[in-house]
């Protein structure tokens, strides 16, 4: 473990990336309750909605209603995902605190996910960054298919660096590297984070891992060793991408907090509270979730005080 890392910020993506792939569609009030529970557990950046087309992602059709119902909190940043100019226009009518725009390193995936070429999406991103700055809204960008694409296969590192450099030139506040279909390994995580940092022009990096092939937590460890101090995760490990075949859940917030706690790395997130949210979500979604901590429990277990 990188001994210089004393704190890691967790961006909770369960209410968006988690719920968007579930067959059970939660009500607006259930989503607001979920987000509130996560905020009360200590999570301070929460991706709460996607402004994707409601017909394509019906789980996110109530994005505006969710943001309208969320209580304003000075200590929490509510993040909205946008894919294009239409999403940006919808987001401007809400109380969103932060925007994250998806851009795929794979041109094929970008076309299928967003209906445009990667380069066109980056051009739109640049204009959104300028417009959002006038409204005081920070914009981050997530590079999807950083390690691999379900349609194009392995992602050449040269292509990744070209896309990362173009995104950095837009002036985004942060760049996330996403293993959309869960094909990364710890060694390639180290390699690609190190390489992207060289073209990112000092922009902070974030990492987003899926656990499709059971390497997600090892990849998170590698990212921290490579100097990344912000990681995405999803309560209970729920999630996936409806446009990426077999892209199963995100790394679980529960398990990530446990690993970091054991390493002495602060997250300011209550493990016990997150476990309770995870168990609550398993009931709502009517299925067992992938996170191990709700099943195994924390260690050492808390002892009752007599």
Q: Which residues are catalytic?
A: 241
Which residues 6+ apart lie within 8 Å of 245 measured at CB?
A: 150
Q: What are phi and psi of 230, to 5 degrees?
A: -135, 125
* Cα separation, 299 vs 301, whole angstroms: 5
Q: Which helix (H) or strand (E) holds 98?
A: strand 98-104
Contact between residue 249 and residue 240 where contact means Cβ atoms under 8 Å apart:
yes
Contact between residue 79 and residue 48 where contact means Cβ atoms under 8 Å apart:
yes
Contact between residue 10 and residue 43 where contact means Cβ atoms under 8 Å apart:
yes
* Cα separation, 216 vs 129, whole angstroms: 30
Which residues 6+ apart lie within 8 Å of 65 measured at CB?
A: 28
Contact between residue 248 and residue 210 where contact means Cβ atoms under 8 Å apart:
yes
Residue 104 in 3-state DSSP? strand
Contact between residue 268 and residue 257 where contact means Cβ atoms under 8 Å apart:
no
**Tokens standing for 176?**
């996330």
Q: How many CB atoms lie within 10 A of CB 195?
A: 15
DSSP line for 133-183: HHHT--EEEEEETSSEETTTEE--HHHHHHHHHHHHTTT-S-EEEEETTS-
Of 28, 66, 74, the C-alpha closest to 47 is 66
């Amino acid at each position: 473990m990188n001994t210089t890392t004393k704190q890691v910020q967790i961006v909770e993506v369960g209410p968006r990336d988690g719920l968007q792939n579930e067959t059970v569609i939660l009500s607006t009030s259930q989503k607001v309750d979920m987000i509130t529970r996560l905020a009360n557990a200590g999570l301070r950046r929460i991706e709460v909605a996607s402004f994707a087309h409601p017909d394509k992602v019906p789980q996110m059709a109530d994005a505006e209603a969710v943001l309208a119902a969320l209580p304003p909190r000075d200590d929490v940043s509510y993040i909205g995902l946008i894919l294009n100019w239409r999403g940006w226009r919808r987001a401007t009518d809400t109380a969103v605190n932060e925007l994250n725009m998806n851009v795929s390193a794979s041109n094929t995936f970008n076309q299928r996910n967003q209906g445009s070429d990667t380069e066109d999406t980056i051009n739109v991103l640049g204009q959104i960054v300028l417009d959002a700055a006038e409204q005081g809204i920070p914009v981050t960008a997530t590079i999807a298919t950083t390690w691999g694409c379900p349609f194009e296969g392995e992602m050449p590192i040269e292509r990744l660096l070209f896309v990362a450099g173009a995104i950095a030139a837009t002036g985004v506040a942060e760049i996330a590297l996403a293993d959309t279909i869960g094909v990364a390994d710890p060694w390639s995580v180290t390699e690609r984070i190190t390489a992207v940092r060289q073209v990112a022009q000092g922009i902070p990096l974030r990492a987003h891992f899926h656990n499709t092939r059971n390497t997600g937590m090892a990849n998170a460890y590698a990212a921290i060793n490579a100097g990344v101090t912000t990681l995405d995760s999803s309560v209970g490990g729920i999630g996936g991408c409806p446009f990426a075949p077999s892209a199963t859940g995100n790394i679980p917030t529960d398990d990530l907090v446990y690993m970091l706690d054991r390493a002495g790395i602060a997250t300011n997130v209550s493990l016990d509270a997150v476990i309770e949210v995870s168990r609550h979500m398993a009931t709502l979604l009517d299925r067992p979730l992938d996170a191990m901590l709700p099943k195994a429990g924390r260690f050492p277990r808390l002892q009752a005080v007599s």
